[in-house]
Amino acid sequence: MLKLSHNYISDLIRTAIKSDIRISKHAAIIIDPKRPKWCRVISVSYNSRYNLDNTTRSKLTEKKHYTIHAEVNAINKNKKVIRSNKGLVLCVVKVNSNGELSYSEPCENCKKMCEKYNIKTIYYS
């Protein structure tokens, strides 16, 4: 069982603050608990108005209020490795405007995406 160390949580808070979504800053980390500690983190990302790899930017700008969730950005960032691994763990946090953690259960779409990529353990703030 993975213990969610304070390091992961503070990394996630720092990552969430980078989000360009002012009212709802999320961050997600994907961890492989089978790996040694120093290389356990597979991907870290935050929610954004644009796909962070920039490939579909033009498409997204047409939809004014569309945002990419932190979980999706984290999966997209390292798809190949994530696809070829089992037993990965996803942790998601949401930081409110006071910098405090708030409720961040992944939405149904993100849960479905996790299922598709075999991520079965999810922690959230």
Q: Taking the CB of residue 116, how many other CB atoms lie within 10 A of it?
A: 10
The stretch among 24-32, 48-56, 77-85, 105-113 that binds Zn ion (CB under 5 A) is 105-113
Question: Per rule CB under 5 A, is residue 107 in the interface with Zn ion?
Answer: yes
Which pair of tokens denotes residue 28? 């997600």
Under rule CB under 5 A, residue 110 binds Zn ion: yes
Which residue, 38 or 113, is less far from Zn ion as judged by CB?
A: 113
Give whichever of 69 and 94 is closer to Zn ion, judged by the CB atom: 69
Report the Cα 86 to chain-centroid distance in Å. 17
Query: Pairing between strand 121-124 and 89-95?
Result: parallel
Contacts to Zn ion from residues 32-51, by CB under 5 A: none
Q: Does 69 bind Zn ion (CB under 5 A)?
A: yes
Nearest to 93 by CA among 37, 24, 34: 24
Please identify, among the stretches 35-43, 45-53, 65-73, 93-101, the one whose residues bind Zn ion according to the rule CB under 5 A.
65-73
- Do residues 29 and 14 make contact, with C-beta atoms less than 8 angstroms apart? no
* Cα–Cα nearest to 93, from 1, 4, 20: 4
Q: Using the minimum distance from each CB to Zn ion, give the nearer residue, 13 or 110.
A: 110
Interface with Zn ion (CB under 5 A), residue total 3
Binding site for Zn ion (CB under 5 A): 69, 107, 110
